[in-house]
Amino acid sequence: MLRERIEGKWIDAFVNTFRHCNVQEGEVCAILSETQSREVNVQLAELALNALGAKAYHIVLPTPRQTAPAPVRSTGASDAIQHMGPVVNALAETSFVVDCTVEGMLHAEELPKILKGGARVLMVSNEHPEALERLTVDETLEGKVKLGIKMLRDAKEMRVTSPAGTDLTINIEKAPAGGGWGYIKRGGLISHWPGGLCLCFPAKNCVNGTFVMNTGDVNLTFKRYVDRPITMTIENDYITDIKGDGVDAELFKSYIDAWGDREAYAVSHVGWGMNPAARWDALTAYDKTQVQGTELRAFAGNFVYSTGANEVAGRHTLGHFDLPCRNHTVELDGTPVVIEGKLQGDLA
C-alpha cells in the first residue's frame, strides 16, 4: 500500500497546479476540508500555498451524518457545508479556494453563491497524491477542452454507438456544456484536478436508446471494472430495463433500487474524456480508499454516461453512477469527435 505522507515532489505538484491558478504572493486563500478529508492533501495544499507566498487559512467542517439508504460515493456534490451562511460568505469573499472535501463542491448546492462572490475554486479530487502528481498540469489540455465545449454548445444532437450495442440519441440543443483542464484562472468559476473532460447536461426527455457497458468498462461508484456486459434501455431519460448475467448487473440493480427514487434512474450528464495522461487501467494499482476515480472519467476517448441529479432537467437525487466506457463512437450532428474510443481531429 502506498503511504500517505508529505513528499517534496508532491508539494512541487501542488505548487505547479496552484501557480497555474494564478495564486499570487500575499493572496488570501482558503483551504476547505472536512473531518473525513484526505489529510495529506490538505497539508500539501497548505505547504504549496505557503511556498507561493500566499496567506492560507483553513475551514474544517465535521463530516455530516449519513442520511442516505446506501453509501454515497463519487458524486461531486459535497454536503459538508450544510448551508451554513458564515462558511459560504467566507468562501465567497476569498479569491482562491482549494476544495479538499471528500466528494467535492463541483455540484454542491452552495457553489453558485460562492462563485457569485468572485471566488475561483479548484476541486482537488480525493485521490492519493501519487495520482495527482502523475496528472499534474498539461497546458495543451486547456485549448482542446475549450474546443470540445464549444462543439457541444454548437451541436443539436449527440449520437453514441459501440460495437457492443450502445445506440443512444441525445438532444443536446438546450444542454449546458462544460469541462475542466485541471486548473482555474478566472474568478467565479470552478475546475477540478485531475482535469480533462467535456460534458453536457441534457434537458428533459432528450435521451433515448440502448446503453451497453461492456467487459472492462467502469462503474466508478463501485470503483469496479465490469466483468460481464450490462444492457440498459433508456426511454425519455430514464433507465427502464437492466439486463445482464452475473454480479455486475445485479449490483447495479441493487444499488439503483436502494434509493427508492425514480430520479436515480435518469440521466445526469454525458460527455467524453480528453486527458492522454489519464489511464483506464489505473484502478488496478490502488486500493479503493486511495482513489476517487477522476482519472477514469478523464482518460482520453472514453464516453461517460452518468445517472442522477440534473439541475437542467429539474431532477435532484443522491443516487448517482458515473460510467466511463471504452470503444464508443460519439458524433455531434453527424461529425465524429470520438471513434471507437479514439479522439478525432483537433481534439486528439
- Concatenated DSSP letters of 248-295: HHHHHHHHHHHT--GGGGBEEEEEEE-BTTS-GGGGGGS-GGG--SHH
pLDDT band for 73, please (50, 70, 90 cuts): confident
Residues 217, 304 within the same domain = yes
Is pLDDT of 126 > 90? yes
Strand partners, 272: 198, 303
Is residue 187 one of the residues assigned to a domain?
no
153 plus 227 within the same structural domain: yes
* Largest separation between any pair of C-alpha atoms in the chain: 58
Return the minimum-mean-pLDDT range out of 9-13, 67-71, 114-118, 339-343. Answer: 67-71
Q: Are 270 and 230 part of one and the same domain?
A: yes
What single-letter amino acid sits at 97? V
Q: How far apart (Å, rounded) are the C-alpha atoms in residues 103 and 328?
A: 28
97 & 159 share domain: no
Confidence of residue 107 (pLDDT cuts 50, 70, 90): confident
What pLDDT band is residue 95 in, cutting at 50, 70 and 90?
very high
Q: Are 238 and 270 members of one domain?
A: yes
185 domain-assigned: no
Q: Per the structure, how many domains does the chain have?
A: 2
The residues pairing with 192 across neighbouring beta strands, listed in sequence order, are 123
Same domain, 273 and 300: yes
Specify if 288 maps to a domain: yes
Residue with cell 486547456: 142
Residues 105 and 208 in one domain: no
Which of 99, 119, 134 terminates a domain? The answer is: 134
Q: Give the residue-averaged pLDDT of 12-40.
A: 98
Task: Tell me whether residue 16 is exposed, middle or buried, using C-beta atoms within 10 angstroms of its C-beta: 0 to 12, 13 to 18, 19 or more.
Answer: middle
Q: Are residues 146 and 83 in the same domain?
A: no
Q: Is residue 290 part of a domain?
A: yes
- Residue 184 forms part of a structural domain: no
Same domain, yes or no: 320 and 211: yes
Q: Domain span at residue 264?
A: 140-178+196-347
Give the number of other Cβ atoms within 10 Å of residue 333's Cβ: 12
- Flag whether 237 is in a domain: yes
C-alpha grid cell, residue 77: 456534490
Please check the confidence at residue 317 and state whether its pLDDT lies above 90: no
269 and 151 in one domain? yes
- pTM here? 0.94
| pLDDT number for residue 318 | 86
**Secondary structure tally for the chain: helices H, strands E:** 8, 20
Beta-ladder partners of 210: 167, 233
pLDDT at 59 over 70: yes
The stretch 9-35 carries a mean pLDDT of 98
User: Which residues face 191 on adjacent strands?
Assistant: 122
| CATH code for the domain of 52 | 3.40.50.2300
What pLDDT sits at residue 52?
98
Asked whether residue 36 falls in the same domain as residue 160, the answer is no
Distance, CA of 321 to CA of 203 (rounded, Å): 18
pLDDT for the residue numbered 75: 84
Residue 165 belongs to some domain of the structure: yes
| Per-residue model confidence (pLDDT) at position 179 | 95
In a domain, 295, yes or no: yes
Average pLDDT over residues 279-283: 96
Mean pLDDT of 289-301: 95
What is the pLDDT averaged over residues 157-185? 97
Query: What is the mean predicted confidence (pLDDT) over 149-170?
Result: 98
The whole-chain average pLDDT of the chain stands at 96
Tens of pLDDT, residues 185-239 = 999 999 999 999 999 999 999 999 999 999 999 999 999 999 999 999 999 999 9
CA distance 269 to 202: 7
C-alpha distances (whole Å) from 174 to each of 153, 205, 209, 231, 270 are 8, 11, 19, 27, 13
| DSSP single-letter state for residue 312 | G
Assess whether 304 and 340 both reside in one domain: yes
pLDDT bucket at 1, cuts 50 / 70 / 90: low
Residue 40 pLDDT greater than 70, yes or no? yes
